[in-house]
Amino acid sequence: MGSLPDLTQNKTVRILEDAERHGYGVIASIVYNVEHILGVVKAAENKRSPLIIQVFPWQVKFSDGLLVRTAADAASRASVPIAIHLDHCQDEALVKLAAETLPFDSIMVDMSHHEKAENLAKTKELVSYCHARGIATEAEPGRIEGGEDGVADTADMEGVLTTPEEVEEFIATGVDFLAPAVGNVHGEYGPKGPNLDFARLEKIRKQANGRVRIVLHGTNGFPDDVTRACITKGVSKINVNKLVLEDWNTHMRENASQMLLTQFMEEGVKHVVAMQEHQMDTRMSNVSLHHSFSPSEMAHVIVGSPAILLCAAMLYLALVRTLRYNRSNAVKREYPTRESYRNMTLEEAWKIQSRLAEVEFPTVFSSSVFFALFKVFLAIDQVEYRLTHHQTYGIPSVSRLLAATGQLTNVRTASKRAADTGVILTEVLLHHPSDPRAIDGIARMSFLHERYRRTGKISDEDMLYTLSLFVLEPVRWTKRIDWREVNEVERCAMGTYWCWLGEAMDIPYTALKSHGSGGWANGLHFLDELEEWSLGYEVGNMVSAETNKAVAKHTVDIALFNIPKVLHAVSFDLVSCLLEPRLRTAIMFERPSLLASLALKVIVALRKLLVRHFFLPRPYFLRKRWFSDELNADGRFNFEQYIAHPSYIRPTFYKRWSLNSWLIRMVGGSVPGDQGAEYCPQGYIITELGPDDMRGKGEHDMQATRDRLSRNGRIDCPFDRW
Ligand SMILES: [Zn+2]
């Protein structure tokens, strides 16, 4: 049997998985003509948002697939992910024809006009047919009432609300997305508006349990808050027709006879763009409330007289006040008592932590991880010393200094190591714990350490200490310099997540107090004990040494690599201020000048003030991005951030010619695309990262880790068993 196409790479599947994972909704817009395609694609690019373009079967027949090919062409040229979908295909022959001959990413196999048994049998057959061609599928358990543009009205058959049993039956057909009937109808809702059965939707989501994505049909005239509520209940694909095309329709009726055709078309596209953008703002709803004050709305408020301007300013400040602590308060509401902490699942913990790194404290989290690396490099340096001197514990000495400088004189080697570590860590941390990319990252990390651990060159305590730094440093740095602290629930989430990750890395917790004596009550309990142990370890092991100074000097060189030479002394002083006294003593840096300490205090206080009172929280769609979501043409991923050298960065026009790139050029640094293949602009494969001599090695070991993780792949509640 030939191997089936890999559906995990299917565009609609990937778009919707990301949406469900991150709690937003993707607008699936019906298009009837080229102007609609132009409008929805432009809106998606303006909003940096994914999109699904869909057509009715009528369109396939009417234009003999021309509009579908046009949509696919637009999607392939867009800078955001766009999938092409066939809505409500009730004709079996047409499903097959479309799957065979047209560039659809997904097809809704709608057999709901048949009786249940036949519906299921036909759905199953067509799902396999589509899957064999790499096309994902959607189906409708229950029956959504009403008809729409050539889709047969099922009103003569009784509309049936979807039950959890039906969800199960449809999942058994292998279908990828389900469009349940929960009181939604095709067509119009009448004066009362939609009345959805949210309790049922909730049950359906529970029953689906992440095995299929949930789709919402029949959204004509939906108020924003209803759409938002549906997203909160787990809907990731939102089919829209009038919500995006209403103004276009009005425009047609009112202006077709009065405008020049070209002007009429251009104006029409603008209507589509505006409505589509509004929908895209709405879909982010449960992630943040920014849509209630989207930039386009702000523009309307701010033009006007000084009085209005003042009002707007006050309104803005009040809004910042209301929204700034929203995310922090939301998690506290979710887990109101310490008792409730033990119910936190790994998935929830991961989600809370990702939000901290992507939107809440992106700058401080990433710099603190860099400084965690700083400490880790000191540890690695000790290990390398042990390796070269066949010793289990290194004592700082002159020869060690030589060994260390030999390894690290080359800022490029150090920079590559920092980049690789950063890539693996972010791949693991920012992907769902069961995502293949997270698992590959863990497998690679395990493999890179395995050789040293087996031979005792890296002790379990070294591993535990490193783990503790990656979770504790961001908490400490946030507390010291960011606009608010990581709250207790968030710390619990971080503890929960890292406890799992440590286990996944096979790091024993025997050194921790409660190990063996009943274990930990929750993630927070674990984190507190880890911190206590880690501090003790640090006091004993972080001693000052000339070698440390050399390693640290090179690490700071990476951080300051792209800063003009004239500012080096000042920057060095500021970095030195940022370090905790114990670390500073260990690496034998001079005490920073009084002026630098003062300057840093002012900068930190000013930033706190500005962020707390004047900045709206960063919306999710503007989250800090670390890597590409899609494989590039070379079958690799690209990284998006760099400090010293542009490792793994794709040399796009923007990346090469942005203001930042010009500044880097002026100090003689490299920007993406410079130096040929030196900085791997083609990207990385997770399983190839690490030192050059490990390249291409370890597949066997990594597969063993993957198998082990999938065997005890529990991603529910890590503290249940204790
Ligand atoms: Zn529908």
Summarize pLDDT for 530-563 with one digit per residue, the tens: 999 988 887 777 666 666 777 777 777 777 777 7
- Measured in angstroms, how far is the CA atom of residue 385 from the centroid of ligand 1? 65
Provide the pLDDT confidence category of residue 150 given band limits of 50, 70 and 90.
Answer: low
Determine the Cα–Cα distance for residues 216 and 438; give it in Å rounded to an integer: 30
- Measured in angstroms, how far is the CA atom of residue 211 from the centroid of ligand 1? 21
Residue 177 backbone dihedrals phi, psi, to 5 degrees: -130, 140
Q: Which ipTM did the prediction report?
A: 0.96
What was the pLDDT predicted at 392?
Answer: 35
- Measured in angstroms, how far is the CA atom of residue 160 from the centroid of ligand 1? 14
Summarize pLDDT for 457-488 with one digit per residue, the tens: 778 888 898 899 889 999 999 998 889 999 99
- Measured in angstroms, how far is the CA atom of residue 66 from the centroid of ligand 1? 22
Look at residue 45 and give its three-state secondary structure.
Answer: helix
What was the pLDDT predicted at 401?
Answer: 41
Determine the Cα–Cα distance for residues 52 and 29; give it in Å rounded to an integer: 6
pLDDT of residue 405 exceeding 80: no
Residue 30 backbone dihedrals phi, psi, to 5 degrees: -75, 135
Averaged over 138-152, what is the pLDDT?
75
Q: Who wins on pLDDT, 328 or 2? A: 328
- Measured in angstroms, how far is the CA atom of residue 79 from the centroid of ligand 1? 28
Q: Which CATH architecture has domain 7-285?
A: Alpha-Beta Barrel (3.20)
Averaged over 621-641, what is the pLDDT?
87
- Measured in angstroms, how far is the CA atom of residue 217 from the centroid of ligand 1? 5
Determine the Cα–Cα distance for residues 552 and 560; give it in Å rounded to an integer: 12
Buried b (16+ CB within 10 A) or exposed e, 184-202: bbbbebeeeebebbeebbe
For residues 138 and 178, the answer to whether their CB atoms sit within 8 Å is yes
Q: What angle do CA 495, 501, 503 make, to 5 degrees?
A: 105
The CA–CA distances, whole Å, from 203 to 165, 175, 215 equal: 11, 19, 14
Provide the pLDDT confidence category of residue 502 given band limits of 50, 70 and 90.
Answer: very high
Non-local (6+) Cβ contacts of 378 within 8 A are 542, 548, 551, 552, 586, 587
The CA–CA distances, whole Å, from 209 to 213, 216, 360 equal: 9, 17, 28
Q: Note if 197 is an active site residue.
A: no
What was the pLDDT predicted at 390?
Answer: 42
Provide the pLDDT confidence category of residue 155 given band limits of 50, 70 and 90.
Answer: very low
pLDDT of residue 8 exceeding 90: no
User: What is the token pair recorded at 104?
Assistant: 């659809």
Residue whose structure tokens are 């690019």: 45
The residue ranges of every structural domain in the chain are 7-285, 341-616+624-648+683-709
- Measured in angstroms, how far is the CA atom of residue 186 from the centroid of ligand 1? 6
- Measured in angstroms, how far is the CA atom of residue 188 from the centroid of ligand 1? 12
Determine the Cα–Cα distance for residues 73 and 80; give it in Å rounded to an integer: 13
Provide the pLDDT confidence category of residue 91 given band limits of 50, 70 and 90.
Answer: very high
Summarize pLDDT for 29-81 with one digit per residue, the tens: 999 999 999 999 999 888 888 899 999 999 999 999 999 999 999 999 888 88
Residue whose structure tokens are 């070294």: 462
User: What is the token pair recorded at 59?
Assistant: 């369109």
Determine the Cα–Cα distance for residues 431 and 694; give it in Å rounded to an integer: 24
pLDDT of residue 287 exceeding 70: no
* β-bridge mates for residue 106, sequence order: 85, 136
3-state helix, strand, coil in the chain (%, to 5): 60, 5, 35
Averaged over 425-442, what is the pLDDT?
91
Q: What is the DSSP string of 196-244?
A: --HHHHHHHHHHHTTSSEEEE---TT--HHHHHHHHHTTEEEEEESHHH
How many alpha carbons lie under 13 Å from residue 527 in its C-beta half-sphere? 26
* β-bridge mates for residue 139, sequence order: 178
Provide the pLDDT confidence category of residue 266 given band limits of 50, 70 and 90.
Answer: very high
- What pairing do the DSSP bridges indicate for beta strands 106-109 and 26-30? unpaired
Provide the pLDDT confidence category of residue 589 given band limits of 50, 70 and 90.
Answer: confident
Tell me which of 163-172, 429-438, 639-648 is least confident: 639-648
- Measured in angstroms, how far is the CA atom of residue 215 from the centroid of ligand 1? 9
Determine the Cα–Cα distance for residues 371 and 334; give it in Å rounded to an integer: 32
Determine the Cα–Cα distance for residues 470 and 528; give it in Å rounded to an integer: 14
- Measured in angstroms, how far is the CA atom of residue 30 from the centroid of ligand 1? 10
For residues 492 and 341, the answer to whether their CB atoms sit within 8 Å is yes
E strands, 390-490, in order? none
* β-bridge mates for residue 86, sequence order: 55, 107
What was the pLDDT predicted at 670?
Answer: 80
Q: What is the DSSP string of 135-203?
A: -EEEE-SSB-BS-BTTBPP-TTSPPB---HHHHHHHHTTT-SEE---SS-BSS---TT-----HHHHHH
pLDDT of residue 394 exceeding 70: no
What was the pLDDT predicted at 342?
Answer: 84
* β-bridge mates for residue 229, sequence order: none
Provide the pLDDT confidence category of residue 126 given band limits of 50, 70 and 90.
Answer: very high
Kindly give the interhelix angle for 436-454 and 460-481, rounded to the nearest 10 degrees: 130
Which of 6, 18, 64, 87 is an active site residue?
Answer: 87
- Measured in angstroms, how far is the CA atom of residue 492 from the centroid of ligand 1? 42
Q: How many CB atoms lie within 10 A of CB 171?
A: 18
* β-bridge mates for residue 84, sequence order: 53
pLDDT of residue 621 exceeding 90: no
For residues 287 and 23, the answer to whether their CB atoms sit within 8 Å is yes
Q: What angle do CA 412, 376, 400 make, to 5 degrees?
A: 75
Tell me which of 84-88, 317-321, 392-396 is least confident: 392-396
- Measured in angstroms, how far is the CA atom of residue 444 from the centroid of ligand 1? 44
How many alpha carbons lie under 13 Å from residue 47 in its C-beta half-sphere? 32
How many residues are present in the chain? 722
Provide the pLDDT confidence category of residue 296 given band limits of 50, 70 and 90.
Answer: very low
What was the pLDDT predicted at 43?
Answer: 92
- Measured in angstroms, how far is the CA atom of residue 17 from the centroid of ligand 1? 20
Averaged over 218-247, what is the pLDDT?
89
Averaged over 130-142, what is the pLDDT?
94
Closest by CA to 171, choosing from 160, 161, 163, 182, is 163
Q: How many CB atoms lie within 10 A of CB 566?
A: 8
For residues 517 and 404, the answer to whether their CB atoms sit within 8 Å is no
pLDDT of residue 451 exceeding 90: no
- Measured in angstroms, how far is the CA atom of residue 280 from the centroid of ligand 1? 19
- Measured in angstroms, how far is the CA atom of residue 10 from the centroid of ligand 1? 21
User: What is the token pair recorded at 466?
Assistant: 């490193």
Determine the Cα–Cα distance for residues 406 and 395; give it in Å rounded to an integer: 17
